[in-house]
Amino acid sequence: MRTLKEVKIGESVKVKALKGEGPVKRRIMDMGITKGVEIFVRKVAPLGDPIEVNVRGYELTIRKSEAENIDVE
């Protein structure tokens, strides 16, 4: 199973599951990232943090540590 952190620039993936607990999981869900949602990876900063994505028509930035908690297919 892959995490969002491993997805390449320009790739679209579907969220399979969210890991983590408490504030981290709540922040991810507050961004509209839930099971079954399509995520398009737009850009990754030179050192890999943050990752810029499109979710439900919105442009968001996600920290690498948060991306590790999002399983994708």
pLDDT of residue 68: 93
Domain ranges in the chain?
A: 2-72
Position 3 scores a pLDDT of 95
Residues in Cβ contact with 67 at an 8 Å cutoff, skipping those fewer than 6 apart: 3, 4, 5, 51
pLDDT on residue 20: 86
Contact 13, 51 (CB under 8 A): no
Contact 72, 13 (CB under 8 A): yes
Report whether 40 contacts 12 (CB < 8 A).
yes
Q: What pLDDT shows up at residue 49?
A: 85
Residues of the chain with confidence (pLDDT) below 50: none
Q: Was domain 2-72 assigned CATH 3.40.50.300?
A: no
